[in-house]
Amino acid sequence: VHPDEKASLLRTAGQFADEVIAPRVQQYDADEHIPEDLMERMADLGMFGGVIPVEDGGLGLDFRTFAELVMEVSRVCHVMGSMISLPSALVGSSIHVFGSPEQRSRYLVPLAQGRIFGGAAVTEPGSGSDVASMRTTFKRDGDSFVINGAKAWISMLDYASFFVTFATRDRNLGRKGVTAFIVPKDTPGVSVHPYKNKMGFRPISTGDLVLNQVRLGPEHLLGDIDDGFRVAMTAVERGRLGVASRAVGVTKGCIDASMSYAQGRVVFGNPISTLQIVQSKLTDMLVGHATARLLTLSGADELDSGRRGRQALSMAKMYATDVAARSASDAVQIHGAYGVSPEYAVSRYYRDTKVLQIVEGSNDLHRAMTAEMALGTRSSGDEPRPPN
């Protein structure tokens, strides 16, 4: 991306976040639904195109620019940051890498243009971190496949018109028996059941995706039979880059809110920004933001240089979300009672950053993986990454 184009893209995204998203985000967080017109306006700006190549309808961004774009929007609303990350993560890249030409033109192109939306359905009621222990099964019936099972905690239930999902032909085969499918939401036997009133990520419609005798033709197979685990793993690093970038954005939001509040709030005759204990929290946020940003962008650079960057992005996801959670907690503290009011964004940051520590690999898992990669007991992912 040419530096001028990059600057203009980031400026446009920042202005959109400040002028269009900021005045409405507290309300749509309470309403638990992203307004359709906001999604349409983001599509008009081309913001869903991300790293998807231009010939497939995307923006063809490098990963560094993509990360900076997500940070810029997430400074105001990381849920919108997640909306613009999704096509560049599992939903889009699995179709890009494993999809047939027909699947690419039917799903990937409109996805990159923000004309349709999709969800990635991996987690089940009994398996999250341990993806290969899924219970959803499929059986072949002539040319068709019949899927039975249920996925849990699946996002985009309201907006998605299709899901990339996974089923096994034999639960005893572990990762070897898994196959990936594209399941249109209107297929008979598919039903969605959103959870209401969740603590964080409230505007995203998340819940159960039930697959009851869902019959699919061969055109819904994504990749080869038994290749599903590889499909599921195509984009984990991209997903982690997206979450880390969202966390960096939220940390910046915490800094902006806390600086302005601390300079305006007078206690015992002086603005609280003059108190060293408040300054110390601001310093932690500033250092945390600067370091998390660098770590995240270095992970993006790994992807840009054609490597998977598994270790870098695992560390970035864990560190950036931990920094964001601590910054949000400190930001609420600085705001005193107003910190728990829905009038101020920091209570939203506090609720959402807890969830950022859980999704795209729980931070405990990343903590274990980082040491294992350093100890050589787990691959650190210097192998080439899947293509864009």
Ligand X SMILES: Cc1cc2nc3c(=O)[nH]c(=O)nc-3n(C[C@H](O)[C@H](O)[C@H](O)COP(=O)(O)OP(=O)(O)OC[C@H]3O[C@@H](n4cnc5c(N)ncnc54)[C@H](O)[C@@H]3O)c2cc1C
Instruction: Give the catalytic positions in this structure.
Output: 360
Beta carbon nearer to ligand X, 123 or 327 = 123
Angle, helices 310-335 vs 276-304, to 10°: value is: 160
Interaction residues for ligand X, span 201-240 (CB under 6 A): 201, 206
Residue nearest to ligand X (CB): 128
Q: How far is the CB of 157 from ligand X (least distance, A)?
A: 9
How many residues bind to ligand X according to rule CB under 6 A? 19
Q: How far is the CB of 236 from ligand X (least distance, A)?
A: 11
Q: How far is the CB of 126 from ligand X (least distance, A)?
A: 8
Beta carbon nearer to ligand X, 128 or 271 = 128
- 119 scored as a contact of ligand X (CB under 6 A): yes
Q: How far is the CB of 136 from ligand X (least distance, A)?
A: 12
Among 31, 364, 382, 383, binds ligand X (CB under 6 A): 364
Query: What character string, x for contact with ligand X (CB under 6 A) and - otherwise, covers 296-335?
Result: ----------------------------------------
Beta carbon nearer to ligand X, 154 or 278 = 154
Beta carbon nearer to ligand X, 13 or 83 = 83
Among 122, 241, 303, 373, binds ligand X (CB under 6 A): 122
Q: Give CA–CA dist 169/225, Å, rounded.
A: 9
Beta carbon nearer to ligand X, 315 or 359 = 359
- Both structure tokens of 345: 């964004």
Among 145, 153, 229, 261, binds ligand X (CB under 6 A): 153
Among 128, 174, 189, 386, binds ligand X (CB under 6 A): 128
Beta carbon nearer to ligand X, 66 or 201 = 201
Candidate ranges 23-31, 166-174, 360-368, 371-379; the one touching ligand X (CB under 6 A): 360-368
Among 368, 371, 382, 383, binds ligand X (CB under 6 A): 368
Beta carbon nearer to ligand X, 63 or 159 = 159
- 362 scored as a contact of ligand X (CB under 6 A): yes
Q: How far is the CB of 92 from ligand X (least distance, A)?
A: 14
Q: Are 234 and 381 in contact (CB under 8 A)?
A: no
Task: Give the other-Cβ count within 10 Å of 261's Cβ.
Answer: 21
- Both structure tokens of 307: 């490597």
Q: How far is the CB of 231 from ligand X (least distance, A)?
A: 13
- 69 scored as a contact of ligand X (CB under 6 A): no
- Both structure tokens of 10: 């980031």
- Both structure tokens of 372: 């294992």
Q: Give CA–CA dist 84/168, Å, rounded.
A: 30
Query: What character string, x for contact with ligand X (CB under 6 A) and - otherwise, covers 168-207?
Result: ---------------------------------x----x-
Q: How far is the CB of 185 from ligand X (least distance, A)?
A: 14
Q: Give CA–CA dist 62/56, Å, rounded.
A: 15
Chain center to CA of 145: 29
Candidate ranges 123-131, 232-240, 275-283, 306-314; the one touching ligand X (CB under 6 A): 123-131
In the complex, the residues that contact ligand X under the rule CB under 6 A are 119-123, 128-129, 153-155, 201, 206, 355, 358-359, 362, 364-365, 368
